[in-house]
Amino acid sequence: MRKSQIRNPKHRTENCPLSPRLNYFRIFLTFARNSIVRDMTFRANFLIDCLSTITWSLMDLGFYIFVVFRQTSQIGRDTGWGEWEFYTFLATTKLINGLVQAFFMPNCEEVSELVRSGNFDFALLKPIDTQFLVSLRKIDWPALSHIGVGGILLSISLWHITQREIDPAQLTLLTGVAYIFYILCGVAILYSLMISLAATSIWLGRNESLYDFWFYITNFSRYPMEIYSGDVGTPLRWICTFIIPVLIVVNVPARILAQPLAAETPEARFLLFFTPAAAVACLAISRWVFYRALRSYRSASS
Amino acid sequence: MLPRITAWWTILRISLQERLVYRGDFALGTLMRFLPIVTQIFLWFAIFANLGTGARITNYTYEELVVYLLLTMVARAFSSMPGLASTIARQIRTGDIKKYLTQPVDLLGFMFLSRMAHKLAYYIVAIGPFALVFFLCRGYFIHLPDAPQAAAFAASLILSFLLGFYLEACIGMVGFWFLEVTSLLFVYMLFSFFLSGHMFPLDMLPQPFGTIVQFTPLQYLAFFPAQVFLGKVQGWDLAMGLLIELEWVVLFMLLSRVLFLRGLKRYSGYGG
Amino acid sequence: MPVIEIENLSKSYRVYQKQEGLLASVTGLFRREHKDVHAVREVNLTVEKGEFVAFLGPNGAGKTTTLKLLSGIIYPSGGTARVMGHVPWEREIAYRRRFALVMGQKNQLWWDLPALESFRLHQQIYRIEPQQYQETLDELSELLDIGRLLRQPVRDLSLGERMKMELAAALLHSPDVLFLDEPTIGLDVVAQHRIQQFLKKYQAQRQVTILLSSHYMKDVAALCQRVVIITHGEIKFDGSLSGIVDRFSGQKLITLQLAGDETPKNLARFGQVIEEQLPKVKLRIDKANVPAALTEILAQHTVEDIVVEDPPLEEVIADLFSQVQTPVAT
């Protein structure tokens, strides 16, 4: 045996060449790489997943093209959410959902399975942040086709609303930057909600309906918030803005580009400040929930 | 026959207990299923608001549309078969299905009975949340169906249960030929979500889509029962509708049987 | 200073009882019965650097729970523990860098990828320097003989090969303390033997501290100088392997080689006759009675040879486990 090689190095960490943050980024890239290597071994599945995502988007779009906007010129009375404004909204929904589904959904969904099988143990053993590891282990590359669909739809819609003759929308570089910023805020809010839901499966030991719950809650974010009015709608709008802030996820970035009538109200201006604050608060709360839940992890033996 | 009834009773009891043990989960889960409808109702309200008072969209008043969406929930409670196709496909993949070759149990019969038991258990518990939602929305129910119409509605629901069951069973059986049916299942779910009328009344679709969807069996999973309840199909059309639904049921029943027998033959041809 | 110090460590779970019958399920909606299961009770243990300690005990005795507590995966209900100065359940990153836990029943490698990919991920997660990583990997793949398997998808490996990969993955960062939970479970005899050989060599070379839980006596006998017997979450014995027999067996085995024409005369009165193949007779006799019994036997028979020995270890331990297992069924 080559004894000379057998050492027991003690102070490895001090002379490690990478800063922690850079190292996390490198780990993330490895996760991304491994996911794509894995996906490429099942190429047919990969293609089918992409195709079904696109089909789904097209059918969804069909509902608005062939049903909704055949009947009405805008969603809600005097809201300014006309056809192309609404498609801008829809495209924003796709972009945000694409990001969430590609990066966080497969991982958060897997948490309950990891907990059930006891394989969550391994995540707890690794010397990196557990929430980071659990949230980004895998990347669902086919889900990025949402972003493709969203991008195309957004381009077409923007062309229409900026090129039309009556009251064309004015877009500047600042609007673009703000749009991206608020999209990221939206992703952060949805991620926080999702990882908190996943954490409950550590508590309860099972959570098969995580995806359902997610779907039902985020369902409220799919339409312009102006539609929630009246005796039931107004409280609902408040709850979904200030308690579980799913309504601002798509609405705030979409308003920046689509510029419906409500975009100029004081309320809308307030939301521009509220959204980043809500995103930060959600991230903080979800982190607290996640680490709180770890304490009650039971570690099933298979 | 007698052992079959005892088996069925046992399954019923177990699934009922299961439902009751996971308490919060279930009650909450059933109520949450109505949340997407809430969003849909608000969306339609906004659309109708733009059209002005008393407006109709393809013969639907706003109230009728709300009732329609609620009724599709009832229909889906009968016709949706969560996990049926994937269970069959998994049994094929793992080889568990082989036990139906040697044991005197009929796979389809057994699955049908246990599904019925699960559904029954589901209705017993879910009737609470359903009643609550319908009570809250009672203002929208302006015209209630008369007795023959109610009977036709019940018949269409029962047929939609049968149709949903045999349709999904057929998809599961495809697993004999292709080991991976998840994608196929997803496509089916996709189409059934849009083309069963779950999202919106199918007769709102412009041509040629409006005619195409009339020829698929999917409309009987949600659209048709809701139409019956609303009194949108009556007399001769109603009888024809039920008859066509029955035909679809029989067709898929036979198809699932044929697929099963052929699949098993193919399976045993491999020698295990 | 000891590497592992455990004081009064306890872990109990609250388990909700599923009620039988429909009515009970309904009442269960409002009130659920529960009981506390004490997986580990008041365990005290000190392990020095470089020790190879075995946890021995029947299933559900608390071996795995103890290892999980020491790995910081679960929180204790009471007591303290320190491993290399760290409190495990505070889960400091510095601590997580210095130990490894290998579980025989679980795998952490990416199922569809070659093990090498998972190893590279480990390199990044544990921040192992490239040169260090390569050296350790070479060494491990030589010791475990896995060099040619590194590029195959994990799903194509046999159970034994997969276990070797798991071990390699866990050892890449050269942990100072190693927790092994049933590392040979489900493996065939040859694979078991290979893993044992590897562990023995590795431990001898690196002087790491190892805690191994197992219910295979063979693992323990092959590897460990020190044995800790746990049943019902409590430590029943802590000492050398041979000490177990002294402590728990009150009997001796006596083998008599009788003279050619001799017939045994009611030997059953001294103890249990295990085997009678004349001229050889095998008896099990209480320790205290051995001198008296021998005197009497020798007086009544012509004996050519006589052997007095301890009963086999496996038997003693099996007895021990079965004794304590009876009150479990509640």
Comparing CB atoms, the residue among C22, C28, C29 nearest residue B16 is C22
Q: Which of C238, C204, C199 has its CA nearest to residue C66?
A: C238
Chain B CB contacts of C18 under 8 Å are 21
Instruction: Please tell me the distance from the alpha carbon of residue C65 to that of residue A301, in angstroms, as a whole number.
Output: 9
A47 touches chain B (CB under 8 A): no
- Structure confidence at residue A27 as a pLDDT band (50, 70, 90): very high
Q: Which of B71, B266, B204, B146 has its CA nearest to residue A66?
A: B204
- Structure confidence at residue C20 as a pLDDT band (50, 70, 90): low
Chain segment A277-295, per-residue pLDDT in tens: 999 999 999 999 999 998 8
The residues that bridge with C153 in the sheet, in sequence order, are C114
Cα–Cα–Cα angle for C130, C107, A300, rounded to 5 degrees? 130
- Structure confidence at residue A302 as a pLDDT band (50, 70, 90): very low
Listed in sequence order, the residues at least 6 apart from A176 whose beta carbon sits closer than 8 Å to its beta carbon are none
Helix axes A247-258, A266-295, angle to 10 degrees: 150
The shortest C-alpha distance from C52 to chain A (Å) reads 17
Instruction: Give the chain B residue whose CA is nearest to the CA of C23.
Output: B17
Tokens of A125: 């053993």
Instruction: Give the chain A residue whose CA is nearest to the CA of B46.
Output: A76
pLDDT at C118 over 60: yes
C264 touches chain B (CB under 8 A): no
With 0-12 / 13-18 / 19 or more C-beta atoms within 10 angstroms meaning exposed / middle / buried, residue A235 is: exposed
- Report helix, strand or coil for A165: coil
pLDDT at A91 over 80: yes
Instruction: State whether C29 and B20 contact (CB < 8 Å).
Output: yes
The H or E element that residue A276 is part of is: helix A266-295
pLDDT at C26 over 80: no
Sheet hosting strand C272-277, strand order edge to edge:
C272-277, C280-286, C251-258, C303-309
Instruction: Please tell me the distance from the alpha carbon of residue B85 to that of residue B79, in angstroms, as a whole number.
Output: 13
The shortest C-alpha distance from B35 to chain A (Å) reads 6
**Percent of chain A scored above 70 by pLDDT?**
91
Which DSSP state fits C271? S
Chain segment A45-73, per-residue pLDDT in tens: 888 888 888 988 898 899 999 888 888 88
- Report helix, strand or coil for A83: helix
Instruction: Give the chain B residue whose CA is nearest to the CA of A207.
Output: B25
Pairs of CB atoms within 8 A across A/B: 79
pLDDT confidence of residue C151: 92
pLDDT confidence of residue A301: 66
Work out the number of other CB atoms within 10 angstroms of the CB of residue C126: 21
The domain defined by C250-309 carries CATH number 3.30.70: yes
Helices (H), A164-239: 173-204, 210-218, 230-238
Instruction: State whether C96 and A41 contact (CB < 8 Å).
Output: no
Instruction: State whether C22 and B20 contact (CB < 8 Å).
Output: yes
Instruction: Please tell me the distance from the alpha carbon of residue B264 to that of residue B259, in angstroms, as a whole number.
Output: 8
Chain C CB contacts of B20 under 8 Å are 22, 25-26, 28-29
C311 touches chain B (CB under 8 A): no
Chain A CB contacts of B18 under 8 Å are none
Sheet hosting strand C78-83, strand order edge to edge:
C34-47, C4-16, C78-83
Instruction: Please tell me the distance from the alpha carbon of residue C139 to that of residue A272, in angstroms, as a whole number.
Output: 58
Instruction: State whether B180 and A45 contact (CB < 8 Å).
Output: yes
Instruction: State whether C26 and B13 contact (CB < 8 Å).
Output: no
Highest mean pLDDT (candidates A147-161, B185-199, C276-290): A147-161
Q: State mean pLDDT over A98-121.
A: 88
- Structure confidence at residue C256 as a pLDDT band (50, 70, 90): confident
Pairs of CB atoms within 8 A across A/C: 103
Instruction: State whether C117 and A125 contact (CB < 8 Å).
Output: no
List subunits contacting chain B, requiring 3 or more Cβ pairs under 8 Å: A, C
CATH number of C4-10+41-246: 3.40.50.300
pLDDT confidence of residue B208: 85
Total length of chain A: 302
A16 touches chain C (CB under 8 A): yes
C248 touches chain A (CB under 8 A): no
Q: Are the C-beta atoms of C10 and C40 separated by less than 8 Å? A: yes
Tokens of C212: 């191994």
pLDDT at A212 over 90: no
Chain B CB contacts of A226 under 8 Å are 46
The H or E element that residue C210 is part of is: strand C209-214
Work out the number of other CB atoms within 10 angstroms of the CB of residue C314: 12
A18 touches chain C (CB under 8 A): yes
Work out the number of other CB atoms within 10 angstroms of the CB of residue B161: 21
Chain C CB contacts of B28 under 8 Å are none
The residues that bridge with C277 in the sheet, in sequence order, are C280
Chain A CB contacts of C94 under 8 Å are 13, 127
A298 touches chain C (CB under 8 A): yes
Listed in sequence order, the residues at least 6 apart from C157 whose beta carbon sits closer than 8 Å to its beta carbon are C115, C149, C165
The shortest C-alpha distance from B156 to chain C (Å) reads 32
Comparing CB atoms, the residue among C106, C120, C139 nearest residue A119 is C106
Chain C CB contacts of A119 under 8 Å are 106-108
Q: Are the C-beta atoms of C130 and C122 separated by less than 8 Å? A: no
Chain B CB contacts of A217 under 8 Å are 35
Phi, psi of A128, deg, nearest 5: -135, 175
Instruction: State whether B43 and A77 contact (CB < 8 Å).
Output: no
pLDDT confidence of residue C288: 83
| Dihedral sign (CA C302, C308, C314, C317) | positive
pLDDT at C98 over 60: yes
Residue pointed to by tokens 């996943």:
A198
The shortest C-alpha distance from B148 to chain A (Å) reads 32
The shortest C-alpha distance from A159 to chain B (Å) reads 25
Total length of chain B: 272
A19 touches chain C (CB under 8 A): no
| 3-class SS string, chain B | CHHHHHHHHHHHHHHHHHHHHCHHHHHHHHHHCCHHHHHHHHHHHHHHHHHCCCCCECCECHHHHHHHHHHHHHHHHHHCCCCHHHHHHHHHHHCHHHHHHHCCCCHHHHHHHHHHHHHHHHHHHHHHHHHHHHHHCHHHCCCCCCHHHHHHHHHHHHHHHHHHHHHHHHHHHHHHCCCCCHHHHHHHHHHHHHHCCCCCCHHHCCCCHHHHHHCCHHHHHCHHHHHHHHCCCCHHHHHHHHHHHHHHHHHHHHHHHHHHHHHHHHHHHCCC
Instruction: Please tell me the distance from the alpha carbon of residue A247 to that of residue A274, in angstroms, as a whole number.
Output: 12
Tokens of B129: 């949340």
Instruction: Please tell me the distance from the alpha carbon of residue C142 to that of residue B151, in angstroms, as a whole number.
Output: 77
pLDDT at A149 over 90: yes
- Substitution target in A12, A23, A45 with the highest count of C β-carbons within 10 Å is A12
pLDDT at A239 over 80: yes
Weakest mean pLDDT among A97-106, A161-170, C126-135: A161-170
Phi, psi of C54, deg, nearest 5: -105, 135
Q: State mean pLDDT over A266-278.
A: 92
The shortest C-alpha distance from A227 to chain C (Å) reads 38
Instruction: Please tell me the distance from the alpha carbon of residue A124 to that of residue B126, in angstroms, as a whole number.
Output: 39
Cα B203 vs. chain centroid, distance in angstroms?
19
Total length of chain C: 330
Low-confidence ranges of chain B (pLDDT < 70): 1-4, 8, 15, 18-28, 101-105, 179, 268-272
Comparing CB atoms, the residue among C21, C22, C29 nearest residue B23 is C29
The shortest C-alpha distance from C24 to chain B (Å) reads 9
Q: State mean pLDDT over C11-21.
A: 69
Instruction: State whether B42 and A52 contact (CB < 8 Å).
Output: no
**For chain A, what are the domain ranges?**
20-295
Weakest mean pLDDT among A197-211, B104-118, C157-171: A197-211
Q: State mean pLDDT over A191-198.
A: 91
Instruction: State whether A121 and C127 contact (CB < 8 Å).
Output: no
pLDDT confidence of residue B110: 78
Comparing CB atoms, the residue among A6, A296, A297 nearest residue C206 is A6
The residues that bridge with C309 in the sheet, in sequence order, are C253
Chain C CB contacts of B26 under 8 Å are none
For chain B, the C-alpha Rg in angstroms (whole number) is 20
pLDDT confidence of residue B272: 42
- Substitution target in A126, A134, A295, A297 with the highest count of C β-carbons within 10 Å is A126
Q: Which of A136, A150, A139 has its CA nearest to residue A53?
A: A150
Instruction: State whether C28 and B20 contact (CB < 8 Å).
Output: yes
Please state whether beta strands C177-181 and C272-277 pair in parallel, antiparallel, or not at all (unpaired). Answer: unpaired
Instruction: State whether A71 and B51 contact (CB < 8 Å).
Output: yes
Helices (H), C178-236: 189-206, 217-223
pLDDT at A145 over 80: yes
Chain C CB contacts of A301 under 8 Å are 64, 105
Q: Are the C-beta atoms of B163 and B220 separated by less than 8 Å? A: yes
Residue pointed to by tokens 């608001």:
B49
Work out the number of other CB atoms within 10 angstroms of the CB of residue A45: 14
Q: Are the C-beta atoms of C76 and C10 separated by less than 8 Å? A: yes
Q: Which residues of B218-240 are buried (b: 16+ CB within 10 A; e: fewer)?
A: bbbbbbbbbbbbbbbbeeeebee
The residues that bridge with C5 in the sheet, in sequence order, are C46, C82
Sheet hosting strand C177-181, strand order edge to edge:
C99-103, C177-181, C209-214, C52-56, C226-231, C234-240
Q: Output A292 or C328, whichever has higher pLDDT.
A: A292
| Side chain identity at residue C265, one-letter code | K
Pairs of CB atoms within 8 A across B/C: 16
The shortest C-alpha distance from C34 to chain B (Å) reads 14
Instruction: Please tell me the distance from the alpha carbon of residue C81 to that of residue C78, in angstroms, as a whole number.
Output: 10
Instruction: State whether B20 and C18 contact (CB < 8 Å).
Output: no
pLDDT confidence of residue A2: 41
The residues that bridge with C45 in the sheet, in sequence order, are C6
Which residues between 63 and 82 in chain B have a beta carbon less than 8 angstroms from any beta carbon of chain A?
Answer: none
C29 touches chain B (CB under 8 A): yes
Instruction: State whether C106 and A118 contact (CB < 8 Å).
Output: yes
**For chain B, what are the domain ranges?**
2-269
Chain C CB contacts of B21 under 8 Å are 18, 25, 28
